[in-house]
Structure 1
Amino acid sequence: MSDSSLKLRMMIVTALFAAIIAVSAQLTIPLPLVPITGQTLAIGLAATILGSRHGTIAATLYLIIGAIGIPVFAQMSGGLGVIVGPTGGFLVGFIPTTFIIGYYLEKTSFTVFNAFIANIIGMFITLIFGTVWLKIIADLPWGAAIAGGFTPFIIGGLIKAFLAGWIGILVRNRLASANLLYATT
Structure 2
Amino acid sequence: MRNDRLKMMIVSALFAAIIAVFAQISVPLPFSPVPITGQTLAIGLAATILGKRYGTISVAIYLLLGAIGAPVFAGMNGGLGALVGPTGGYLIGFLPTAFIMGYYLEKTSFTVKQAIVANLIGMVITLAFGTAWLKIAADLSWAAAIAGGVTPFIPLGIVKAVLAAVGGIAVRNRLQSARLLSTTTV
User: TM-score, structure 2 length as denominator?
Assistant: 0.97
Task: Determine the structure 1 residue equivalent to 2:90.
Answer: 90
Once the two structures are TM-superposed, the CA of residue 182 in structure 1 deviates from its matched residue by 2.1
Q: Unaligned 5+ residue runs, structure 1?
A: none
Once the two structures are TM-superposed, the CA of residue 105 in structure 1 deviates from its matched residue by 0.3
> Is residue 166 of structure 1 aligned with residue 186 of structure 2?
no
> Is residue 13 of structure 1 aligned with residue 7 of structure 2?
no
Partner of 2:34, secondary structure, is: coil
Q: CA offsets, 1:149-183, max 9 Å, x none?
A: 00100001000000000000000011111121121
Please report the RMSD computed on the Cα atoms of aligned residues, expressed in angstroms.
0.7
Once the two structures are TM-superposed, the CA of residue 6 in structure 1 deviates from its matched residue by 1.6
Percent of counterpart pairs with the same letter?
69
Regions of 4+ moved over 6 Å: none
Q: Distance in 1 between matches of 2:50 and 2:3?
A: 17
Q: Distance in 2 between matches of 1:48 and 1:102?
A: 6
Q: Distance in 1 between matches of 2:20 and 2:149?
A: 21
Once the two structures are TM-superposed, the CA of residue 9 in structure 1 deviates from its matched residue by 1.1
Partner of 1:126, secondary structure, is: helix
Task: Determine the structure 2 residue equivalent to 1:61.
Answer: 61
Q: CA offsets, 1:30-70, max 9 Å, x none?
A: 11310000000000000000000000000011000000000
Q: Unaligned 5+ residue runs, structure 2?
A: none
Q: Distance in 2 between matches of 1:4 and 1:69?
A: 31
2:25 to 14, 23, 27: 27
Number of matched pairs? 183
Q: Distance in 1 between matches of 2:122 and 2:45?
A: 11
